[in-house]
Structure 1
């Protein structure tokens, strides 16, 4: 009897990538593969890549080299954004056997059937303009919270971003299909779903029966709120110009949508926002934060911000710092700008020195720490429900309150995937 082949996965990047990796894993397991740990021996290694920053590209190359040292006879498959953007560059990495672009990643089982170690690297990709289908993806059993992809691609042309080139035009699932997935996840014991996409607020674009669909993200959240068995939903990230007042008010009155928003800002300087080709100004952003806090004073608000964008002067950065300092937000995800080929930002000067970029990053990360500390202290003595994760480290387990305050406590198996009343200290 032939022994089943083993496959190991590694994901770089966002929640969307995690949902897709989990789906790829299920496809291969259905085809007879046995999933194993990435740090061990496997017949096939699959790396799902990101390409938001240059660091993600480097990490991919390092992972391939590590596999080559450990298991030189194993197959190495690279997919994801980096694979779509630079397939030839990846194919040139010693040890890579298969490169799958955006249109081919979900055909991985068919490609592996005809792949032989030692053949020249196979590239299966196409022009991103031809990528127009939506593939449902969700994570399952990887962690307690499930990432459910409901939208893909982006029609925006932000000056720093390669995502439209890597994932194509905005398209999404239908409300009906998302509901089906949510009910399936509930049947599998999932308590919390994180809605993910490239540009979530743009949900509703796509074709249904050959005709254009007319659905909205607001309709989606209203409908999901009625699904039995799911206790919690989170909106992973939503553009400020697409976060409507009706969505904010709905979340404030919902039993299931958590008081937690993640809203990209990128810069607190209107001049820089203009150069970035963002579709709002800082005044709109401040209005959205104020409205959220008016309806939900306890709401957690996370912010994406980029430092060191070309021509960002000390004054521009200080504008951003002061704006964030005065804003009633909870934490920051800080990105150091890195040059990406074929983006409009490459033509903007002057370039900010790398050392300055890193210094600004450090300043905002320190601010983020203070913001989260202050937000957490505001809830000292409050009792909030915590959903505990299955993962444990050194005998400890983590969980999150409804408003995204992290709780760490000694591991108790009976608390895994359970909502526990917890007094914050």
Structure 2
């Protein structure tokens, strides 16, 4: 039994880098610490504990993690500093040697952070506690509300895919998941707290069921039955795991929104082979067609990596033309970053940083064109928007079922309310459509 009396009246700050899954896990860590008597430090207040949840998807991410740690140790001198997340799992000793770091926890230990805080005494050198990736077995549940209206529900962790460019399987371990029964119970608790929208998160959520003998489709059907939750969004799902039955179910579902996020990574079949992805462009295109046949107004976000090893100019042009012809809404463009220990390092043909930037800019311009065209098609239509809290005097924002961002006049009474609006023209900075409540 942990003696929580030493934590009474202590304060903590939290800093998260990376994906929605990380934000969900940080929020859960914060809730656990709060239950032990540790409150979140107010703005400008010196904290007793700093928790940094790191990302390591690129070298830039590693650098940002180090910068965040340095910044927090300066802002909160004397604080007990805990670092966890992917960077901590991959390079624990490197992180432990950063000045000011007291404790480094790996993927297996993250969910049990309270067990490792001790009496919060500072260490001369950080202590690293990790488990070898091959031995990571635990699944730490998480269903947490972020700063905004929606909840993030973690249903799966880890990945068995080992794509040639990716370190995530080494950082998070093998694919594993919670039981449907337990996950549904978490969704019910979120509904009981007034939650109306849940984002389903994980590393490879379509692979759900490896440890329980269930399927992601089974999970979708059970979550759809939870009373009080009006909206679910599937954060990201591999194209080869997005089955036609899932698409068809979402099209007629009570609460699953016409909103998909599907990683493509490259529109060149040659590059997809080099990446060791488990599909080709023909399969990907067929999934997009299926979605649009069933849900013509669906929002489809797509991940793309540019400048991977082996991506010649010809391959990139093939990829660009393929993506240009897809009826998708938005591209999330990432520049390839070499990661130690990955198979991609064995591939010839290295793309220069300047060329990566040029290719990124072309795809970002294409994305902007596609997103604006999608938004424009909805001007003059009616939609239901889930309004989100904003600062006093500032416009409120929210999203339609198909993820169009809408700007509303400020009204505190609208926070976390579903409202019917008429969609007008773009707002001043072109990031949303103006909405008028009907």
Give the TM bin, normalised by the shorter chain.
over 0.9
Per-residue deviation, 1:278: 0.1
| Aligned match of 1:157 | 162
Per-residue deviation, 1:114: 4.0
The normalised TM-score by structure 2 is 0.93
Matched, 1:311 2:292: no
Could you tell me which of 36, 60, 64 is aligned with 1:31? 36
Could you tell me which of 197, 200, 204 is aligned with 1:195? 200
| Aligned match of 1:420 | 419
CA contact (8 A) 2:97 2:125 kept: no
Q: Distance in 2 between matches of 1:165 and 1:38?
A: 36
| Aligned match of 1:101 | 106
Q: Distance in 2 between matches of 1:101 and 1:39?
A: 30
| Aligned match of 2:281 | 282
Residue-pair matches, total: 419
| Aligned match of 1:173 | 178
CA deviations 1:383-411 (Å, max 9, x no partner) are: 11111112437612211000000012232
CA separation of 1:190/1:282 partners in 2, compared to 1, >3 Å: closer, same or farther? same
Per-residue deviation, 1:141: 5.3
Moved over 6 A (4+): none
Q: Distance in 2 between matches of 1:160 and 1:422?
A: 44
The gaps in structure 2 that reach 5 residues or longer are 425-438
Per-residue deviation, 1:120: 2.1
Stretch moving more, 56-65 or 285-294: 56-65
| Aligned match of 1:368 | 367
Matched, 1:91 2:96: yes
Matched, 1:332 2:337: no
Per-residue deviation, 1:255: 1.8
Per-residue deviation, 1:118: 3.8
Q: Distance in 2 between matches of 1:149 and 1:161?
A: 21
Aligned runs of 1:388-403 on 2, under 5 Å?
388-392=387-391, 395-403=394-402
| Aligned match of 1:387 | 386
Matched, 1:347 2:352: no
| Aligned match of 1:209 | none
| Aligned match of 1:82 | 87
Q: Distance in 2 between matches of 1:164 and 1:416?
A: 39
SS at match of 1:160: coil
Q: Distance in 2 between matches of 1:62 and 1:309?
A: 26
CA deviations 1:74-123 (Å, max 9, x no partner) are: 11111000000000111121111110101111221121124411432111
Per-residue deviation, 1:379: 0.9
CA-atom RMSD in angstroms = 1.4
SS at match of 2:360: helix
| Aligned match of 1:378 | 377
CA contact (8 A) 1:10 1:38 kept: no
Q: Distance in 1 between matches of 2:246 and 2:105?
A: 37
The gaps in structure 1 that reach 5 residues or longer are 207-212
CA contact (8 A) 1:8 1:38 kept: no
Stretch moving more, 105-114 or 186-195: 105-114
CA separation of 1:103/1:244 partners in 2, compared to 1, >3 Å: closer, same or farther? same
Matched, 1:252 2:272: no
Q: Distance in 1 between matches of 2:119 and 2:125?
A: 13
CA contact (8 A) 2:384 2:400 kept: yes
| Aligned match of 2:125 | 120
CA deviations 1:283-325 (Å, max 9, x no partner) are: 0000000010000000000000000000111111111111111
CA contact (8 A) 2:236 2:260 kept: yes
Per-residue deviation, 1:64: 1.6
CA separation of 1:286/1:39 partners in 2, compared to 1, >3 Å: closer, same or farther? farther
Stretch moving more, 381-390 or 111-120: 111-120
SS at match of 1:135: coil
Q: Distance in 1 between matches of 2:16 and 2:349?
A: 34
Stretch moving more, 32-41 or 218-227: 32-41
Aligned runs of 1:31-70 on 2, under 5 Å?
31-37=36-42, 40-70=45-75
Aligned runs of 1:255-270 on 2, under 5 Å?
255-270=254-269
Q: Distance in 1 between matches of 2:255 and 2:350?
A: 45
SS at match of 1:97: strand
SS at match of 1:113: coil
Q: Distance in 2 between matches of 1:394 and 1:37?
A: 22
| Aligned match of 2:430 | none
Q: Distance in 1 between matches of 2:247 and 2:204?
A: 17
Per-residue deviation, 1:72: 2.2
CA contact (8 A) 1:22 1:142 kept: no
The normalised TM-score by structure 1 is 0.96
CA deviations 1:21-65 (Å, max 9, x no partner) are: 011001111111011257642111111011111111111111121
CA separation of 1:274/1:38 partners in 2, compared to 1, >3 Å: closer, same or farther? farther
